[in-house]
Structure formats: C-alpha cells, structure tokens
C-alpha cells in the first residue's frame, strides 16, 4: 500500500503541473490582461503599455510560464500582479476561513448523514424514511444563494439569533462561533441529501445480502449486525461522495462566501480572475489540484480499508 | 451577483454632485431639520465593495470607491471638488498665477502629519514627483503631466512655485485631481501610512478591514468619531444585511430595488446622492454610420429619456441634455433640453438612407445598468426603423475594447470638471477619446479657454464648445444617476455629496447618535 501511495503522489505532482499549465494557457487566452483590467476606465494606450512593462507582461508567455514553474519547484509561488504581495501569504490567509468552514461542515455532515441514512434504510418505505427523503431532496433542490438569503433574512435580520455576515471578522472565525452557524447550514443542505441517500441505498443493499442474513441466523443481535457488518460496506460509496464534498468545500464555495462575507479561497478566486492576476490564479490552481489529489487518495485508501476485497487496488 | 459596480470605477469616471465646501461646520444639505446635534465618540463601521485581498493603502494607487474613501480619511489633496465640481482649497490655502498663467504659487495652510511633522513644500514636491514618475503608472499622472517639475521649487516651507509647460488657467483642477494626495517627503512604503488627513492608521488586514482613529490635530478640526473602520463586502445584500444586523452603520452603493424596499421603513436610512453618474451612449463620429451628423441627431431625438431613467435606473436619476456635467461650474444650462421627436428622427433616418440599418450597440456588465440601457435603447431605436442589437462584451476589459472598436457603446462617467472632461475625451490628442471627436477648430477653442485668465470670458468659450457638442457631438447623454447609500438610524451628518467630490464618503463630519 505504501508503494501505491507513493505512486499516486508522484502522479499527483505531474497532474498539478499539468493543471497549472492548462490554466496558464487558458488565462492567457482570456481577452485582455492584468494591464488592461488595471487601466480600467482610463484605457490610455501609453498607460497600458507601461503597466504591461511594470508587470513584466511584455515578456513572452513561455518565458513567464517557465519562470513560474522554476519558482514552484523552489517553493516560491511568486507575487500578486495587483498588490505585489507574495501569493503564498495571500493564499494562507484565505485558506484558514475556508478550512474552518469545511471542517465544521464535515463534522456535522458525517454523523447526520450516517444516522439519517441508516435510520431510513432500517425503516425502508416507512413514514420516517419518506419524511427524511422529502426533507433531504427538498433541501437539495434549493440553490445555496437562495437558501443563504432566506436564512439571513429570517434568523439574522428578523430574529437576531445569529450575525447576518462575517464582515470585519478576523481570520479565525472560531473567535465568534455564531458566525459559522448559518454558512454551515447552507453548506450542509446539498451534501446531506447526496450522502445520506447513498448510505441508505448501501445499507438496504447490505441488509438484503447473504452475509447479513447469515449473521442473523447465527444469532447475532440485529443492532450489531447492522453497525458492525452492514454499515462498513454501506459506507464505501459514501466515502467517495464525501471526498467530492470535501474537495468542493476546500475550494471555497464562492456563493456562500459572498453572501456571508467570508474572505476565503472562493473570494480570492473571483477577485484574481476578474483582475487577471495570473500568479494568484496559478497559486490557487496548485492548491486546488493538491487538495483534490490528496482528498481522493485519502478516500481510496479509506475505501480499501473498509472493503479490502472490493476496492480494486493492489 | 453584483460584481459589476466593483469594477474599476475610478476617479475620472465616477460621480459628482452636491457637496460641502471647505467649511467643516456647515450642516450637511441632506440632513433633516431638528436632527440630533453632533456628539463626540464611537466607532463607525462603513462597508464598501472592495478589491479583495490584493488591495493596498498607497493613496496614489487609489482606484475603487473604497480606496478613494480611505485615501481621503488618511490624506489630503491640495484642493478638491466642491458641490458644483468647482475647486475648493484644502491643504493649499490659496493659489496665485503669474500674468502669463504659466507659473503658479501655492501657499500651504498650517497642517501636520499624523507623526507630528508639519506639511511642507518639500512634501508636496515629493508627492507630485512620485505621481508623475514616467516609469510608474499612477492614475493622476496624466493630470500632472502639465507641470514642469524640474523647474518647480519650494519657496520657504509653505510655498510651492509650480512651473507649467504651457499657460493654463484651470491649474486648480490639477491640484484636485483624483489620487493627487500629499504624502510625507520620501515616503514609498504604505504598510503603515502616515498622512495629514482626519484619521490616522491603526491596523489593516487586506481584503477585510482597515481601522483608523481620530487625528486630534487635524487642521480642519478633529473628527467627531473616535474610530473609523472600513469593512468589505462585495455582495450588495451582505452590505445591507450588515447594517440591518447592527454590524455596520454605513453601506455604500445600494441598488434602486433595495432602496425602494427599505426607504421609509425605519430600519435603514436610504440616502440618495443626486446627479451622481453621467449615463450615456458614445457614438464614434469618425466612421460609418455615425460619421453622418444627421444620423447622430436622429439618435438624440429618438431617445425616450424618461423611459430610460424609469427602466434602467428604476427612477433614481434625472434626464440629461447630451452635455456632460449637469449643474457643474460652466455647464451650459442656456441650451434648451432636447425633447423626443420621432417624426423628425424618422425623417433623418430616411434622409441618411439608414432605414433598416443593422447597428451593433456594445455593452457589458462593466457598470451598473449598462445591459439594461442597451436593451431599452435598442427597443426605442427599432421604433423608427433602425435595427439596433445589443452585444454583450467582456466586463473586465470593456473600457479598453470600446475605445477604438465598434460604432456605438454604453458609457458613463463620474465627477470631474467640465474642462477635464473636454481635455481627456474630446480633443484630437485625448487619450480616452471614445467618440473619436477630433476637430482642429474645437481644439483651438479649448486652447483659447485654458489660456484665458478671465473667468467670464472662459465661460463663454466653454458655452460655445458645448453648443457644438450638443448639436453634433458623439455623446448621447440620456441621464444622471443617483448614487444610493444605506445608513443606520444612529448615524448622522452624512452629506448628499456624490462620489469623488470632497464630502462623498467622508467621515470626519459625521457622528453617531
């Protein structure tokens, strides 16, 4: 398994470089560059040429790309074209809020989804199962933006239970845990549905399988059979879904960050694309590609542990 | 999401209107009678759209609304724009040209920087040299290009003598240019800025907040507030919610829909900054089809301006007369308001042989209302047989794209003196001439005006220039938008002063009740 992990990590490194190169090419293909965007509504040609020179955008694209790649291997992500601040510092300060939000969401998501999935599966077709299905599918169908706006209007502005936004909060959102409540609820709405539905389906499959029936015939308690024998198998597809959710959360959910004014990675992404701030966009790609690869690797390894025979790995 | 307004609405293209002039104790024009008397103390939290974690505090780099407001809280210019965009002295106590209008003596008032050093002539010369540096790209550089800095000098500590490259009667306009802030001699670093403004630096987290405190020795008298905090939220609903939820007291830039929802409801004060942004269509006069003045006139006549105000600005604005700078100093109010005349417009279109002509109207989300304006105008044009279709371009590069490409596009501008509008956009050598208006006789009129010392005579020349533009220029200026703010009930003294003028987003004269 160590060899497998190493191979996956090396492959991941190549993937990061490939993704960053592709994004570099795509950003180059976008109309206009940072100089044109910075010039804004005074598109004086001389000024644009000067900006381009100051930002070193007049150097050939290949040269800039090679320089960036060399820096990357030396651990240097470069500096922002707009502010001149190091990209690494910029990403680090916005990673924390996104990370906190993702962690809080996952901590709530896993137990809720597992319990909902298992309960629904054991009462398949019953009132509780149907109610859970209705609620989770209902939540799934509300766009995050709409849900966020409604929750703020009711619970923050109307009832005053929670702060409406995180505006002005420090990077450590844990200083004011109340700030996290509404964003986490919005972030939970969709994953709860997909995850609990998968676990429910997995449980129903597992409960109907031969080994569960065999375990019951042997006289093991139904509770033990459900939790120790059926659940691990039911969790395997859920783990892959959880990896996708984690990846989505770590990318900074732009809509949620905008509605609640959380200065995370999603906000940096929209700002840097609008400003054509290539070094920042590149840095974000490395970060996003890196988390995607790590999260998926972790998911594959977990699946392997849960169902050694079925994971298809060596 | 409303990212459009956050785009670079810099100085040159911002807003203007009523403002307090230099006298600090005058009550704000927008303040109701019997309002709460000024009270000292407290922290005001003002929430703006921002540029994200990439932002800096260098006042010479100021570009966004929030940056302009922060710069004026911490720094001063020599002069600024008053109510009618005439020039109000600030750090300059006064100015005096020589007979030829090519050397100007500026006297500085007694003022001090936050670290106690006095503001001296050397600081002014350093600041202007920094902005004008040919290797840099500061926004105000073009405005300052007129100054011959090598031959300008300090005369003692409190007088600067500026040598100009040519005679220029409107030199005070240069002193008030957007971004022309005075920083202490030798300053290049703005991590902890030191200025002479009403608030001094406390702490800064890029993309999140800037905390300032009262500068007790401010030359115009200390601010009422103890502290001022700038917060950022790009989403309009978040700015409004922050005020409704007690997380801020001032929200910059609301949409007309939000304003209507809360106006008079008692939860949020909506403040309208009238006559704030020029709304226009720019026709390129150097190429078909708008090289035909008859067709330009048809466009002027077909526009249903009140409908544009109602549907594009949701009623938050007033109609324009195809002239920049309504109610500003030198505005040609003598010229009668143009009214809609569809019969004549139809006749002009037929005369130009343009019936059924396909015209592409360039627009984008680069500014609020552009997409709507293009759609509404296209409908109006179809009524007289012009096949106008709106084409949506890239919002980030819009201003560069429309400068030389296309034939007609959406355009807007904020406050600037009429002279600046003429020189930046309507001369043969103007660098941002979006209508491609280039006429030697018009250039000559401009040169004559700015070389004329007598204000009355200058006014006449500006009037002549505006008559020409009204009759056959390329700008169809259909309206002037209000700018909307939301404030908490306990915030008082907010002036009805549109963006870029002195009293817009200025916090040393407001107080918390």
Q: Which residues of A touch B55 (CB under 8 A)?
A: 83
Residue in B closest to A82 by C-alpha = B54
Mean pLDDT of chain A: 84
Contact (CB<8Å) A261/B242 = yes
> Domain B1-73+197-268+488-513, what fold?
D-Maltodextrin-Binding Protein; domain 2 (3.40.190)
Q: Chain B interface, mutation test: which of A50, A147, A162, A165, most B Cβ atoms within 10 Å?
A: A165
Measured from the Cβ of residue B36, the count of other Cβ atoms closer than 10 Å reads: 14
Q: Which residues of A touch B248 (CB under 8 A)?
A: 167-168
pLDDT attached to residue B293: 95
pLDDT attached to residue B53: 59
Q: Chain A interface, mutation test: which of B9, B48, B52, most A Cβ atoms within 10 Å?
A: B52
At B459, give phi and psi (nearest 5°): -55, -40
Residue-range definition of the domain harbouring residue A246: 94-312
C-alpha count within 13 angstroms, C-beta hemisphere, residue B167: 14
- Percent of chain B beyond pLDDT 90? 73
pLDDT attached to residue B462: 97
Q: pLDDT class for B13, splitting at 50, 70, 90?
A: very low
pLDDT attached to residue B19: 32
Q: Which residues of B touch A54 (CB under 8 A)?
A: 135-137
Mean pLDDT of B397-416: 92
Residue in B closest to A274 by C-alpha = B396
Residue in B closest to A157 by C-alpha = B245
Among A220, A243, A241, residue whose Cα is nearest residue A230: A220
Is pLDDT of B17 > 50? Answer: no
Q: pLDDT class for B357, splitting at 50, 70, 90?
A: very high
Q: Which of B10, B53, B431 sits opposite A46 (nearest CB)?
A: B431
pLDDT attached to residue B54: 59
Measured from the Cβ of residue A4, the count of other Cβ atoms closer than 10 Å reads: 14
pLDDT attached to residue B421: 94
The count of domains in chain A is 1
pLDDT attached to residue A309: 58
DSSP readout, B176-229? Answer: T-TT-EE--TT----SS---SSSEEEEEEETTTEEEEEE-TT-TT---S-SEEE
Q: Which residues of B touch A155 (CB under 8 A)?
A: none
Q: Which of A42, A46, A263 sits opposite B139 (nearest CB)?
A: A42
Contact (CB<8Å) B54/A46 = no
Which residues of chain B from 462 to 501 reach within 8 Å of chain A, CB to CB? none
Among B76, B71, B46, residue whose Cα is nearest residue B57: B71
Is pLDDT of B23 > 70? Answer: no
Q: Which residues of B touch A157 (CB under 8 A)?
A: 241, 244-245
DSSP readout, B250-277? Answer: EEE---HHHHHHHTTSSSSEEEEEEEEE
Lowest mean pLDDT among A1-5, A134-138, A262-266, B392-396: A1-5
pLDDT attached to residue B8: 36
H helix or E strand, kind and range, residue B232: strand B227-232
Q: Which residues of B touch A268 (CB under 8 A)?
A: 52-53, 207
Mean pLDDT of chain B: 89
Among B92, B47, B366, residue whose Cα is nearest residue B219: B92
Beta carbon pairs, A and B, within 8 Å:
172
pLDDT attached to residue A171: 67
> Domain B76-192, what fold?
Dipeptide-binding Protein; domain 1 (3.90.76)
Is pLDDT of B29 > 90? Answer: no
Residues with Cβ within 8 Å of residue A111, at least 6 apart in sequence: none
Q: Which of B1, B9, B245 sits opposite A258 (nearest CB)?
A: B1
Does residue A114 belong to any structural domain of this protein? yes
Q: Which of A44, A90, A149 sits opposite B53 (nearest CB)?
A: A90
Choices 3.20.20.140, 3.40.50.920, 3.10.105.10, 3.30.70.141: CATH for B275-482: 3.10.105.10
Alpha helices in A124-253 (DSSP H): 127-140, 144-151, 178-207, 210-217, 222-224, 231-250
- Answer with the residue of higher pLDDT: A83 or A63: A63
Does residue A36 belong to any structural domain of this protein? no
Contact (CB<8Å) A259/B401 = no
Is pLDDT of B59 > 70? Answer: yes
Contact (CB<8Å) A163/B63 = no
Mean pLDDT of B342-368: 93
pTM comes to: 0.84
Q: Is B27 on the interface with A (CB under 8 A)?
A: no
Q: Is B205 on the interface with A (CB under 8 A)?
A: yes
Q: pLDDT class for B377, splitting at 50, 70, 90?
A: very high
pLDDT attached to residue B308: 96
Among B482, B509, B483, B481, residue whose Cα is nearest residue B495: B509
Q: pLDDT class for B350, splitting at 50, 70, 90?
A: very high
pLDDT attached to residue B9: 38
pLDDT digits (tens, 9 = 90+) for B222-236: 999 999 999 998 888
Does residue A116 belong to any structural domain of this protein? yes
Q: Which residues of A touch B231 (CB under 8 A)?
A: 167-168
Q: Collapsing DSSP states into helix, strand and coil, what is residue B243?
A: helix
Q: Which of A47, A90, A274 sits opposite B396 (nearest CB)?
A: A274
Mean pLDDT of B35-62: 85
d(CA B80, CA B59): 15
pLDDT attached to residue B52: 64
pLDDT attached to residue A302: 85
Which residues of chain B from 225 to 264 reach within 8 Å of chain A, CB to CB? 229, 231-235, 237-238, 241-242, 244-245, 247-248
Does residue A199 belong to any structural domain of this protein? yes
Lowest mean pLDDT among A100-109, B36-45, B135-144, B456-465: B135-144
pLDDT digits (tens, 9 = 90+) for B276-324: 889 999 999 999 999 999 999 999 999 999 999 999 998 999 999 999 9
H helix or E strand, kind and range, residue B483: strand B475-487
pLDDT digits (tens, 9 = 90+) for A132-180: 889 888 888 888 888 998 999 999 988 989 999 988 877 677 888 888 9
Q: Is B90 on the interface with A (CB under 8 A)?
A: no
- Percent of chain B beyond pLDDT 70? 92
Q: What is the CATH classification number for the domain harbouring A150? A: 1.10.3720.10
pLDDT attached to residue B35: 65
pLDDT attached to residue B18: 31
pLDDT digits (tens, 9 = 90+) for B84-127: 898 999 999 999 999 999 999 999 999 999 999 999 999 999 99
Residue in B closest to A162 by C-alpha = B245
Mean pLDDT of A63-91: 84
Q: Is B137 on the interface with A (CB under 8 A)?
A: yes
pLDDT digits (tens, 9 = 90+) for B172-193: 999 999 999 999 999 999 999 9
Residues B210 and B200: beta-carbon distance below 8 Å = no
* Residue ranges matching CATH 3.90.76.10 in chain B: 76-192
Lowest mean pLDDT among A210-219, A259-268, B336-345: A210-219
Q: ipTM value, please give it.
A: 0.79
DSSP readout, A33-69? Answer: -HHHHHHTT---HHHHHHHHHHTTTTS-HHHHHHHHH
Contact (CB<8Å) A263/B208 = yes
* Residue ranges matching CATH 3.40.190.10 in chain B: 1-73+197-268+488-513
pLDDT attached to residue A312: 44
Winning range, highest mean pLDDT, from A1-10, A171-180, A221-230, B310-319? B310-319
Is pLDDT of B66 > 70? Answer: yes
Q: Is B392 on the interface with A (CB under 8 A)?
A: no
Q: Which residues of A touch B8 (CB under 8 A)?
A: 37-38, 40-41
């Amino acid at each position: 398994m160590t060899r497998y992990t190493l191979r996956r990590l090396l492959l991941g490194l190549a993937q990061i470089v490939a993704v960053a190169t592709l994004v570099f090419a795509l950003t180059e293909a976008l109309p206009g560059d940072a100089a044109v965007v910075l010039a804004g509504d005074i598109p004086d040609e001389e000024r644009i040429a000067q900006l381009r020179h100051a930002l070193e955008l007049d150097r050939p694209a290949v040269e800039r790309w090679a320089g960036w790649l060399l820096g990357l291997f030396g651990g240097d992500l470069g500096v922002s074209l707009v502010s001149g601040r190091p990209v690494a510092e910029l990403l680090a300060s916005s990673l924390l809020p996104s990370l906190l939000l993702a962690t809080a969401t996952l901590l709530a998501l896993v137990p809720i989804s597992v319990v909902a999935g298992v309960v629904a599966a054991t009462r398949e077709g019953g009132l509780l199962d149907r109610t859970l299905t209705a609620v989770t599918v209902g939540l799934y169908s509300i766009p995050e933006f709409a849900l966020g706006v409604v929750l703020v209007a009711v619970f923050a502005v109307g009832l005053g239970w929670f702060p409406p936004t995180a505006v002005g909060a420090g990077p450590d959102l844990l200083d004011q845990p109340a700030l996290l409540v509404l964003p986490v609820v919005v972030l939970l709405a969709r994953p709860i549905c997909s995850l609990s539905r998968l676990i429910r389906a997995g449980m129903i499959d597992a409960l109907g399988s031969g080994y569960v029936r065999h375990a019951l015939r042997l006289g093991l308690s139904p509770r033990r059979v459900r939790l120790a024998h059926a659940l691990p198998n039911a969790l395997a597809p859920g783990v892959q879904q959880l990896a996708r959710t984690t990846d989505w959360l770590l990318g900074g959910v732009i809509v949620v960050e905008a509605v609640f004014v959380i200065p995370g990675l999603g906000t940096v992404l929209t700002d840097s694309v609008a400003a054509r701030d290539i070094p920042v966009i590149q840095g974000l790609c490395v970060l996003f590609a890196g988390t995607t690869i790590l999260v998926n690797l972790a998911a594959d390894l977990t699946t392997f542990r849960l169902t050694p025979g079925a994971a298809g790995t060596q | 999401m409303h990212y459009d307004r956050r785009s670079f609405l810099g100085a040159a293209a911002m807003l203007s209107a009523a403002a307090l002039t230099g006298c600090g104790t005058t009550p704000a024009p927008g303040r109701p009678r019997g309002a709460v008397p000024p009270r000292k103390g407290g922290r005001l939290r003002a929430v703006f759209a921002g540029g994200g974690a990439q932002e800096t505090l260098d006042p010479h780099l100021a570009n966004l609304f929030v940056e302009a407001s922060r710069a004026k809280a911490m720094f001063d210019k020599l002069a600024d724009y008053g109510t009618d965009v005439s020039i109000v002295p600030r750090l300059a106590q006064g100015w005096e040209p020589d007979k030829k209008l090519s050397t100007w003596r500026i006297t500085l008032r007694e003022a001090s920087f936050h670290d106690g050093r006095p503001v001296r002539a050397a600081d002014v010369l350093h600041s202007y040299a920094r902005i004008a540096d040919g290797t840099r790209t500061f926004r105000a550089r073009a405005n300052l290009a007129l100054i011959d800095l090598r031959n300008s000098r300090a005369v003692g500590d409190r007088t600067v003598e500026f040598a100009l490259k040519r005679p220029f009667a409107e030199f005070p306009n240069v002193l008030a240019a957007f971004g022309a802030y005075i920083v202490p001699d030798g300053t290049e670093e703005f991590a902890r800025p030191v200025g002479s403004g009403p608030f001094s630096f406390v702490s800064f987290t890029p993309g999140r907040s800037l905390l300032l405190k009262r500068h007790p020795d401010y030359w115009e008298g200390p601010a009422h507030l103890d502290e001022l905090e700038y917060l950022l939220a790009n989403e309009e609903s978040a700015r409004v919610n922050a005020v409704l939820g007690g997380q801020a007291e001032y929200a910059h830039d609301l949409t007309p829909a939000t304003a209507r929802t809360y106006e008079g409801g008692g939860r949020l004060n909506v403040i309208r900054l009238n006559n704030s942004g020029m709304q226009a269509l720019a026709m390129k006069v150097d190429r078909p089809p708008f090289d035909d003045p008859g067709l330009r006139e048809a466009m002027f006549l077909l526009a249903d301006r009140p409908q544009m105000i109602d549907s594009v600005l949701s009623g938050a604005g007033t109609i324009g007369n195809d002239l920049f700078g309504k109610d500003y100093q030198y505005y040609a109010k003598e010229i009668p308001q143009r009214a809609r005349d569809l019969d004549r417009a139809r006749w002009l279109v037929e005369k130009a042989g343009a019936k059924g002509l396909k015209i592409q109207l360039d627009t984008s989300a680069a500014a609020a209302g552009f997409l709507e304006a293009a759609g509404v105008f296209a409908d109006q044009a179809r009524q007289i047989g012009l096949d106008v279709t709106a084409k949506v371009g890239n919002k980030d590069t819009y201003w560069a794209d429309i400068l030389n490409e296309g034939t007609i596009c959406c355009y807007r501008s904020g406050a600037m003196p009429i002279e600046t509008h003429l020189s930046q956009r309507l001369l043969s050598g103007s660098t941002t001439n979006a209508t491609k208006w280039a006429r030697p006789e018009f250039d000559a009129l401009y040169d004559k005006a700015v070389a004329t010392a007598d204000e009355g005579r200058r006014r006449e020349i500006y009037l002549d220039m505006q008559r020409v533009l009204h009759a056959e220029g390329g700008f169809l200026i259909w309206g002037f938008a209000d700018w909307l703010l939301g404030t908490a009930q306990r915030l008082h003294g907010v002036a009805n002063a549109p963006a870029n003028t002195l009293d817009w987003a200025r916090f040393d004269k407001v107080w918390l009740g």
